[in-house]
Structure 1
Amino acid sequence: MDASGWEDDTWILHDLTVPIDLADREEGPRIRRRWCDVTDEDLGAVSKARRWPPNAMYLIKNLRWPDIEVEEGVFGGESLAALLDVVGEFSRPDAACFAYYGMVPANEYQSLTVLEGRLSAIDGLTGNEDSFWGLSPSNWWPADRSWFVWTDYDLTATRVSGSRELIETVRAHPQLETLDWQWPEGSRTPADRRRARG
């Protein structure tokens, strides 16, 4: 689900990792790398020119590093921890939050899957292969609806919407790599297409 009407929003690129020991690429330890350091793509140009939200299909075209790994639909690692720090400044860590899993991540096509808990528990809802296929919640937000997070199961970026102050704090965080991206003028957003279908 998507939501509009926020003062500002930005996209956080999901963590990507590379192996530390190239002799053990599959099982060995990995380290995070920043997108701007591993691709020849101009991320600023990408944010202005592409028709679809940021994802690996075009960001990994010209990689300068072997064995890049980034999971679609999984917003976790250092980036999730950093975002939780930021939103924790605007909503208490024990603030009531909701997490919605879309039909595909929840593997549930007859009813909505919405979990309720504390903001500090959101981290526990991701990366568990035994539930929701290890995917992140499609949306999560506090009870006061002061901000909104949207992740899609086939993207490698997550959008955060909220006040200008919150989004500026997200953009400025040293652990977060963000892109400002909007639907191109004249194109129709997923919400527009759903309304057109009635």
Structure 2
Amino acid sequence: MSRTVDADPNPTVRRMYDELGELLERGDEAFVEEGPDIVKNAIAEPGFFDGVSTAHADQGGYTREKVIGDPDGHVVRYMEWPPEYALMPHEHHGRPCFEVLVEGQLVLSDLSATTVGENEYTFDVIETTTADPGEAAVVDPRENEIHAVYSPVRSRSLHVYPDDNWEAYGYVPKDDSTSDAVDVYERESFQLRE
């Protein structure tokens, strides 16, 4: 299947995207350590949001609109999170990602999974990061890959992935959990593209 290059975004977005690509050429470590500052600096520039938008998020889920992403390359998505929305524990193929908060507040929790049965897991929170506007939340698989996101208020963020996967793995509550004290989850594959 061939994919075409998206229409060119505004020059500020393109410059940011190209700088992120140069980081990825140096590896995932440079991407997560230096990438958030590139995005923070870019969104502070006048005109960054010219032509950049995302749909309104209803209470049932977040929205995600592609800002920029060349074929087989990294991608930046603009996301809106409704108030009191919790995104299930999930992972991104062993690759890092990060969000830079534009408005509101996001809480990112790194989770440790314990296998309790065939495709059954429980989770413990390792660390929680709260991001306010202009701050970043980073998922670094060198430290931990499974994470969950919570938006206490309506929030918007730029989410940067090193590649544009159509699939992620999420952990959903098991319907017939045998313990009332501990939530048991099952790992499932999810399609991410609209």
TM-score, structure 1 length as denominator? 0.30
**Larger RCO: 1 or 2 (CA < 8 Å, sep 6+):** 1
Please state which structure has a larger fraction of its residues in strand. 2
- Please state which structure has a larger fraction of its residues in helix: 1
